[in-house]
Amino acid sequence: MSAEPDTLHALLRPLGLEDVDRVMEIELAAYPFPWTRGIFEDCIRVGYDCWGLLLGLRLVGYSIQTQAAGESHLLNLCVAPECQRHGLGGLLLEHALRLARGCECASMFLEVRPGNAAAIGLYRSYGFTVIGERKDYYTTHGGRENALVMRLGL
């Protein structure tokens, strides 16, 4: 029996407030400076596109995005650390891109930490390019760091 996630049996579904406990488990395990519970709850309540990725009955990843004025902004895309490097981030990103195209968005934007090589590699593999930086965007142990801003034309 393989311990690797079976992406053929992955299911995407909208996130609800009942998912926030598990989302927070993943967020806390994946990031040194995670989003707060309140941010996730607010995103769900206001109707952002909040999607969960399940393997079997277990939530293992999520994405959150907004669409406005012909643009999509990918706010958060995360896969549980124990499930990373198996194509699940790509499944979430492909779904986010389909949503954006379905809303007739012309572009998708995102911010990423410069040191997050895996995420940058994923985004580049889908055609995202770096178009700039946001100064002091992310918290670090030593203060703040800039974010890379990436864009994909849809």
- In eight-state DSSP terms, residue 31 is -
Measured distance CA(130)–CA(128) in Å, rounded: 7
Q: What is the pLDDT of residues 35-92, one digit of tens each?
A: 999 999 999 999 999 999 999 999 999 999 999 999 999 999 999 999 999 999 999 9
Q: Is 123 a catalytic residue?
A: yes
Of the residues 123, 137, 138, 145, which is catalytic?
123
Q: Which domain holds residue 124?
A: 7-153
DSSP 3-state of 61:
strand
The domain total for the chain is: 1
Q: Is the pLDDT of residue 146 over 80?
A: yes
* Average of per-residue pLDDT across 89-112: 97
Of the residues 111, 133, 137, 145, which is catalytic?
111
Specify the CATH number for the domain of residue 137: 3.40.630.30
Domain contains 57: yes
Q: What is the pLDDT of residue 123?
A: 97
The b/e string for 29-46 (b: 16+ C-beta within 10 A; e otherwise) is eeeeebbeeeebeebbee
Q: What is the pLDDT of residue 9?
A: 80
Domain contains 1: no
* Average of per-residue pLDDT across 22-36: 96
Q: Is 41 a catalytic residue?
A: no
Burial bucket for residue 18 (CB in 10 Å: 0-12, 13-18, 19+): exposed
Q: Which residue has the higher pLDDT, 91 or 2?
A: 91
Q: What is the pLDDT of residues 109-145, one digit of tens each?
A: 999 999 999 999 999 999 999 999 999 899 888 999 9
Q: What is the pLDDT of residue 84?
A: 93
Domain contains 2: no
Measured distance CA(44)–CA(64) in Å, rounded: 9
